């Protein structure tokens, strides 16, 4: 509810800017034309993943993962790293934070391991693994539009090198931090039966079909909406009680809408001029680092989405936009509010009675986030041939 309240306040401030003429109506209309497909995609893919979770798809994957680990905790953890990365890349960071977090907690408890290394892996990779494809992060969809709507594969060609670094660095950090609890053996346990096989297989089929559709080059909101409608129909027949308004991430939509409008109003009064002086303008290695680090600081100060929106106009080129994405996607590992995914992750931990001290989280993030952002930016510079 706090998320919705903040969003409503920002929407009200944006409305005041419109009413007073501070934000031209034409600019607001252009903004709406840009963001409605993104918001529709977020709603649709959230509905798909929530219904797939209700069908037991992710729980079944967790149980199978426990068996694939063959009793070795470090192998099981590597499988979680792979699952978190794939989930984030193809279904977005918020999906990983909301749905994968309880799965890995249940997985760890199912086999008698400490859930904390698995939980930390999930939240870090939910953020840092969200660089590769447009669908991986809301900021990427915005950047894709600014770049002139390159295909998902063209987008990935720009982001592949920093995306790989952004997955490897935090993963290595988690292993070093939790090496003692990961260097043990476990018993896989018994598989729990699937409650409704019709829902399970329909959900699995829809998700399996959705993943390639999202990288096919078709506007991502179209396959996401089709997938959501198919599952809604199936659940209406098999388990109608699951279909409730809370499936729709309305709080996230209100917050994102408010942020879009508020930052647009700030740009109308000269925010871009101020930020241009801070973030530089070139594509040299040093200038790219300057922009990515500015994005990281902004994300941890005010959240990654407004940080991206504020800095996007001063990025100026595809390479600089990727540098900005490195900062706002791979950098939000320090403060609890640095990304919505982190807040959603913590809510899931609290609901599962898993305790993590924010002081320790911040301390670890202060070490891992700058290293990840700097190395990923250097990888971008090397891949793009900048000096």
Eight-class DSSP state of 361: H
**Spatial distance between the Cα atoms of 203 and 209, rounded to a whole number of angstroms:** 10
Query: For position 210, what pLDDT does the model report?
Result: 85
**Spatial distance between the Cα atoms of 288 and 322, rounded to a whole number of angstroms:** 9
pLDDT digits (tens, 9 = 90+) for 13-58: 888 888 888 878 887 887 788 778 878 887 888 888 789 888 988 7
Helix, strand, or coil here: 311? helix
Name residues of the chain where pLDDT drops below 50: none
Cβ 62 vs Cβ 103: under 8 Å = yes
Cβ 97 vs Cβ 345: under 8 Å = yes
Closest to 108 (Cα-Cα) out of 65, 52, 142, 138: 65
In the chain, what is the straight-line distance between the N-terminal and C-terminal CA atoms, in Å? 47
**Spatial distance between the Cα atoms of 47 and 385, rounded to a whole number of angstroms:** 41
Query: For position 195, what pLDDT does the model report?
Result: 83
Supply the DSSP string of 151-208, one letter for each residue: -HHHHHHHHHHHHHHHHHHHHHHHHHHTHHHHSSB----PPPPPS-HHHHHHHHHHHH
pTM (global) more than 0.85: no
Cβ 110 vs Cβ 93: under 8 Å = no
**β-bridge partners, 72:** 185
Cβ 278 vs Cβ 313: under 8 Å = no
Q: Which distant-in-sequence residues (6+ apart) come within 8 Å of 351 by Cβ?
A: 102
**Spatial distance between the Cα atoms of 201 and 281, rounded to a whole number of angstroms:** 51
The pair of structure tokens assigned to 117 is: 């290394």
**Spatial distance between the Cα atoms of 159 and 325, rounded to a whole number of angstroms:** 9
The pair of structure tokens assigned to 259 is: 């942020």
Query: For position 192, what pLDDT does the model report?
Result: 73
């Amino acid at each position: 509810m706090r998320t919705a309240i903040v969003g409503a306040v920002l929407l009200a401030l944006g409305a005041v800017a419109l009413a007073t003429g501070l934000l031209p109506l034409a600019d607001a209309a252009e903004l709406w034309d840009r963001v409605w497909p993104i918001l529709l995609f977020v709603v649709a893919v959230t509905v798909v993943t929530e219904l797939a979770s209700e069908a037991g798809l992710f729980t079944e994957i967790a149980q199978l993962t426990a068996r694939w680990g063959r009793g070795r905790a470090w192998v099981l953890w590597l499988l979680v790293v792979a699952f978190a990365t794939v989930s984030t890349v193809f279904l977005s960071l918020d999906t990983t934070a909301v749905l994968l977090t309880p799965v890995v907690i249940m997985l760890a408890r199912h086999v008698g391991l400490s859930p904390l290394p698995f939980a930390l892996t999930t939240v870090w990779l939910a953020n840092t693994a969200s660089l590769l494809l447009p669908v991986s992060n809301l900021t990427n969809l915005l950047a894709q539009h600014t770049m002139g709507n390159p295909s998902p594969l063209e987008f990935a060609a720009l982001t592949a090198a920093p995306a790989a670094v952004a997955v490897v660095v935090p993963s290595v950090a988690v292993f070093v931090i939790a090496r003692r609890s990961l260097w043990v053996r476990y018993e896989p346990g018994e598989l729990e039966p699937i409650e409704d096989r019709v829902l399970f297989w329909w959900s699995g089929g829809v998700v399996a079909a959705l993943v390639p559709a999202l990288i096919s080059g078709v506007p991502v909101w179209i396959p996401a909406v089709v997938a959501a409608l198919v599952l809604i129909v199936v659940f209406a027949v098999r388990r109608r009680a699951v279909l409730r308004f809370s499936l729709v991430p309305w709080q996230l939509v209100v917050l994102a809408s408010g942020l879009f409008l508020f930052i647009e109003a700030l740009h109308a009064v000269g925010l871009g001029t101020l930020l241009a002086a801070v973030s530089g303008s070139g594509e040299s290695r040093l200038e790219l680092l300057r922009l990515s680090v500015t994005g990281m600081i902004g994300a941890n100060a005010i959240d990654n989405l407004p940080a991206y929106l504020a800095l996007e106009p001063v990025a100026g080129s595809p390479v600089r936009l990727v540098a900005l994405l490195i900062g706002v996607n791979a950098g939000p590992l320090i403060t609890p509010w640095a990304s919505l995914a982190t807040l959603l992750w913590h809510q899931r931990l609290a609901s599962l009675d898993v305790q993590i001290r924010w002081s320790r989280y911040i301390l670890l993030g202060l070490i891992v986030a700058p290293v990840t952002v700097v190395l990923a930016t250097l990888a971008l510079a090397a891949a793009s041939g900048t000096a």
